[in-house]
Amino acid sequence: MRNLCAIALVCVLTACAKKAAPTTETTTTTTSPASGAPAAVATPPGAPPADGKYERVTVDGVTVPMVQVMNGGQILLVDTDGAKPRTWEEQYKRKRELPNGQYDLHKTNTNKNDSFEDDSIDREGLWVIDAKGNVTKH
């Protein structure tokens, strides 16, 4: 009897799930920062991925070993050589109030001290980061 009740409950829940209205969120498969295994993450359209490290993404047309999203998507660090420990060679940052996933300031770590605070601005423009960690110039 218990088995029949359990089967009936599963059937009812499955039917309800199929009738649910579609949401505006999209599900994107990204590389899990901790394990490297694919993990389904729900991200709104146009939003950057959650804070963390993402491997093998495209930045301005070039595949890089890793990017790190920080401060709720305000800063994006780029590792261009893949050496460990990671050295962050490039930084994309918001200079003003922009929609989620957009950056307008790019610096290159020219003096190799792993700080971008004392580096001059390399380029200004508008870059967009998608839910997979890819960065493209707009």
Q: Where are the domains of the chain?
A: 3-137
| pLDDT at site 67 | 94
User: Are the C-beta atoms of residues 88 and 77 closer than 8 Å to each other?
Assistant: yes
Q: Give residue 49's pLDDT.
A: 83
- Average pLDDT of the residues of the chain: 74
Question: Is residue 62 over pLDDT 70?
Answer: yes
d(C-alpha 96, C-alpha 93), whole Å: 9
> pLDDT by residue (tens digit) across 71-82?
888 899 999 999
**80 vs 83: CA distance, rounded Å:** 9
pLDDT above 90: residue 29: no
